[in-house]
């Protein structure tokens, strides 16, 4: 009789407590968190393929996730860092303008602030990515090819420490997954089966250009440290590091510099006066010798500027803009100098003066402006 009573009490207790969240089906968890995911749309200007000073409008689409009741959205830096206009589209179709308030391109994470908070918006919970194990079931919600709120499911395939997978995002700690990731998923959240955000979609490795089972997601703990705790400074500038032979070809007075590629409208980089490149050139398979004399005129007749695109080191670069040599007196040299610059800027209060030394048209200039 006593055994039967204990069994009945135990069954009643578990029926009252209910099933744990992790026992919910994938569909149930998806329905619970889907409204926190947004489609992020961007517009920015890019130097035209031909012609000097000509630009074209480029539209982008990705994803993001609402993480706070005051309208903060986490997404990928490569999607929004140099965007001139940003909007977030919610599950019910409502579209809200947004701006970048923190960004770390070296980890591919950015934080947006919505212009207003939609009344029916749902806030997602940031989980502890350190508790994620290889083999755990996960799912991603995003907008592949612009198709909003699409689910893909899979597992954690591996964990990767910073600077071990992709040198372009050297600060990023990655979770590798076999959950399908395609164009438009960038910036979208990866959820665990408790409905917590454990990562932000960054990129894939693919030979075909499509998904081949190698997707990489920046961990939520890394994003939390960089965007919420340290609040990485948003510059609104994209640059390309010139070093070695390229530094000599551009006649730099030091071994390393950063060639400014893009500058977002109304960004700190624009306010301080940084100028992006205004020309592109293509070698089209031809190998050119660079770094020597440049003929400007023959018999007093000026030569016309080139109007073609050029590929340098396998990349199409915008040339003719500023080359950053130093920030706050710290020369651009290596990874260590980048971290020292970031640390120096983080100690400044908003409105403090920032000094950037650039090489412009062969002359060194100092640009000054307030820290946002």
Per-residue pLDDT of 72-95, as tens digits, reads 999 999 999 999 999 999 999 999
Question: Minimal CA–CA distance to 204: which of 193, 188, 192, 226?
Answer: 188
DSSP states of 227-284? IIIS-PPP--EEEEEEETHHHHHTT-SSSEEEEEEEE-TTSHHHHHT-----B-B--T
Look at strands 301-302 and 215-219 and give their pairing.
Answer: unpaired
Mean pLDDT of the chain: 85
Active site residue 110: no
Please, which pLDDT band fits residue 52 given cuts at 50, 70 and 90? Answer: low
Q: State mean pLDDT over 157-176.
A: 92
11 CB-near residues (< 8 Å, 6+ apart) = none
Q: Where in the chain is the domain with CATH 2.30.42.10?
A: 237-370
* pLDDT at 301 (0 to 100): 55
133 is catalytic: no
Over residues 168-172, mean pLDDT: 90
Q: Which of 87, 108, 202, 203 is the catalytic position?
A: 108
Active-site hit among 78, 81, 149, 203: 78
Q: What is the predicted pLDDT for the residue at 304?
A: 46
Two tokens at 88? 């977030």
HSE-CB at 326 with a 13 A cutoff on CA atoms is 11
Two structure tokens written together for 40: 């992020």
pLDDT tens-digit readout, 326-342: 999 999 988 788 889 98
Mean pLDDT computed over 228-241: 91
pLDDT for 355-369, tens place per residue?
999 999 889 999 999
Phi, psi of 161 (to 5 degrees): -75, 165
| pLDDT for residue 49 | 62
Which CATH number applies to 18-234? 2.40.10.120
Residue 238 contacts by C-beta under 8 Å, 6 or more apart in sequence?
Answer: 81, 82, 105, 260, 261, 262, 263
According to DSSP, the residues that pair with 217 across neighbouring strands are: 175, 201
CB 108 within 8 Å of CB 83: no
Q: How confident is the model at residue 14 (pLDDT cuts 50, 70, 90)?
A: very low
What percent of the chain has pLDDT above 70? Answer: 83
Q: Between residues 48 and 224, which one has the greater pLDDT?
A: 224
- Closest Cα to residue 369, out of 256, 263, 216, 240? 263
pLDDT of residue 319: 84
Task: Name the active-site residue from 87, 103, 186, 220.
Answer: 186
Residues in the chain: 372
Identify whether 128 is a catalytic site residue: no
- Poorest-confidence range of 136-150, 276-290, 298-312? 298-312
Q: How confident is the model at residue 313 (pLDDT cuts 50, 70, 90)?
A: low
CATH 2.40.10.120 residue window(s) in the chain: 18-234
**Under 8 Å between Cβ of 47 and 59:** no
> Where residue 275 falls among pLDDT bands split at 50, 70, 90?
very high
Residue pair 277/259 in contact by the 8 Å Cβ criterion: yes
Q: Residue 149: pLDDT above 80? A: yes
CATH class of 237-370: mainly beta
């Amino acid at each position: 009789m006593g055994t039967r009573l204990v069994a009945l009490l135990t069954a009643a207790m578990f029926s009252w407590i209910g099933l744990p969240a992790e026992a919910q089906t994938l569909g149930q968890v998806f329905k619970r968190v889907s409204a926190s995911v947004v489609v992020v749309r961007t517009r920015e200007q890019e130097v035209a393929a031909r012609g000097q000073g000509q630009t074209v409008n480029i539209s982008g689409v990705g994803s993001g996730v609402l993480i706070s009741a005051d309208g903060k959205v986490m997404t990928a830096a490569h999607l929004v860092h140099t965007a001139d206009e940003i909007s977030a589209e919610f599950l019910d179709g409502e579209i809200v303008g947004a701006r970048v308030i923190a960004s770390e391109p070296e980890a591919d994470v950015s934080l947006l602030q919505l212009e207003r908070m939609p009344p029916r918006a749902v806030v997602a919970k940031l989980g502890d990515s350190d508790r994620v194990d290889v083999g755990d079931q996960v799912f991603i919600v995003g907008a592949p090819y612009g198709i909003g709120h699409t689910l893909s499911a899979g597992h954690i395939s591996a964990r990767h420490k910073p600077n071990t997978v992709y040198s372009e995002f050297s600060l990023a700690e990655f979770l590798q997954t076999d959950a399908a990731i395609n164009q438009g998923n960038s910036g979208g959240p990866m959820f665990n089966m408790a409905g917590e955000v454990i990562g932000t979609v960054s990129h894939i490795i693919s030979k075909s250009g499509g998904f081949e089972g190698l997707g990489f997601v920046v961990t939520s703990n890394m994003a939390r440290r960089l965007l919420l705790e340290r609040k990485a400074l948003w510059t609104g500038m994209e640059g390309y590091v010139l070093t070695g032979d390229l530094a000599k070809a551009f006649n730099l007075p030091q071994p390393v510099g950063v060639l400014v590629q893009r500058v977002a409208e109304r960004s700190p980089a624009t306010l301080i006066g940084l100028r992006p490149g205004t020309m592109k050139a293509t070698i089209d398979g031809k190998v050119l010798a660079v770094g020597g004399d440049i003929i400007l005129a023959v018999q007093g007749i000026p030569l016309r500027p080139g109007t073609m695109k050029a590929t340098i080191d396998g990349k199409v670069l915008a040339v003719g803009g500023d080359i950053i040599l130093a920030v706050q007196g710290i020369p651009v040299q290596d990874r260590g100098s980048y971290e020292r610059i970031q640390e120096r800027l983080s100690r400044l209060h908003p409105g403090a003066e920032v000094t950037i030394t650039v090489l412009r048209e062969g002359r060194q200039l100092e640009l000054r402006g307030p820290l946002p």
